[in-house]
Amino acid sequence: MIADPQRGSGWTSAVLGIIAEELHLCGEETAVPVVQALLKDTGDEVVIRRYERLTP
């Protein structure tokens, strides 16, 4: 959704505006570099964890 022209700005505002010690995002692999680039300048630690879906 972050790359969606209609919903991306709302998604970006939500991620950058949240006040939390930890934030978990689930999504497509293609979103990882976009999120990393978005958070690069925030100074926050970004940890990528990949999980295998257990159900179809």
Model confidence pLDDT, tens digit, residues 25-35: 988 898 899 89
**Between residues 25 and 4, which one has the greater pLDDT?**
25
pLDDT of residue 1: 67
Cut 0.85: pTM above it: no
16, amino acid identity: L
User: 């978990």: which residue's tokens?
Assistant: 24
Query: Is there a contact between 34 and 2 (Cβ–Cβ < 8 Å)?
Result: yes
Look at residue 10 and tell me whether its pLDDT is greater than 90: no
Dihedral sign from CA coordinates of 17, 20, 22, 28 = negative
What residues have CB less than 8 Å from 16, skipping those under 6 apart?
38, 42
Distance of CA 16 to the CA centre of its chain: 10
